[in-house]
């Protein structure tokens, strides 16, 4: 009995040390503190996929647009929407957009900040969507506030459009234009 109890203690300590080492490596790779994203933090409670609706606000108001978004436990985020956000639904004229990828981080008890990047391109697949003023990269940054039950959120964001050759990760780059949006999302559940 004593040997098995000792081995269980050694294994438990080993698992704890491995977890701490993994978390430190993951934080280093992600470039930010993951305490809010993994472990006992917010990440485990909000990780999942959401049915999202976003609406362009003045000065470029448009009706709400549906999207899907996934918040990953490690602070990664992906989303996709219909390609008509910037116009009247004539995708051939307006251009197309790729799914968007990025990151989120905890900024409050149930609040997160996020940044997503995606490409704008024409019908032939060339970067630079005509409906985006020739912009080839979109950067969406904003904040989300989750409800008490963590099954829904609301927030605001800015969609910034960058020209070919501009670096959307460079804070000194000035976008071609920016569009404010309101965002609401509901978690997708399995019944």
pLDDT in tens, 122-158: 767 777 766 666 678 889 999 999 999 999 999 999 9
- 151 lies in the same domain as 85: yes
Kindly state the tokens that stand for 179: 């569009």
- 40 lies in the same domain as 107: yes
**Tens-digit pLDDT profile for residues 171-186:** 899 998 888 999 999 9
- 43 lies in the same domain as 6: no
Q: Number of folded domains in the chain?
A: 2
- 44 lies in the same domain as 21: no
- 78 lies in the same domain as 167: yes
- 116 lies in the same domain as 166: yes
Q: What is the pLDDT of residue 28?
A: 47
- 2 lies in the same domain as 60: no
Radius of gyration of the chain (CA): 20
- 87 lies in the same domain as 179: yes
The model's pTM is 0.74
- 17 lies in the same domain as 67: no
Q: Look up the domain containing 54 and give its range.
A: 33-187
Kindly state the tokens that stand for 120: 């704008």
52 beta partners: 67, 185
- 127 lies in the same domain as 163: yes
- 100 lies in the same domain as 180: yes
Residues of the chain whose pLDDT is less than 50?
27-31, 36, 38-39, 84-90, 92-94
């Amino acid at each position: 009995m004593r040997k098995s109890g000792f081995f269980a203690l050694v294994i438990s300590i080993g698992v704890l040390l491995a977890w701490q080492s993994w978390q430190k490596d993951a934080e280093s790779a992600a470039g930010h503190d993951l305490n809010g994203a993994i472990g006992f933090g917010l990440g485990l409670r909000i990780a999942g996929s959401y049915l999202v609706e976003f609406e362009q606000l003045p000065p470029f108001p448009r009706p709400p647009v549906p999207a899907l978004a996934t918040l990953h436990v490690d602070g990664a985020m992906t989303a996709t929407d219909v390609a008509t956000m910037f116009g009247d639904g004539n995708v051939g004229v307006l251009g197309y957009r790729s799914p968007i990828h990025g990151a989120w981080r905890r900024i409050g008890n149930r609040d997160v900040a996020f940044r997503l990047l995606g490409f704008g391109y024409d019908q032939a697949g060339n970067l630079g969507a005509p409906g985006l003023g020739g912009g080839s990269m979109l950067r969406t940054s904003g904040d989300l506030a989750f409800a008490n039950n963590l099954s829904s959120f609301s927030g605001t964001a800015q969609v910034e459009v960058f020209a070919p050759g501009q670096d959307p990760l460079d804070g000194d780059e000035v976008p071609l234009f920016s569009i404010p949006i309101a965002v609401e999302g509901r978690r997708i559940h399995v019944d």
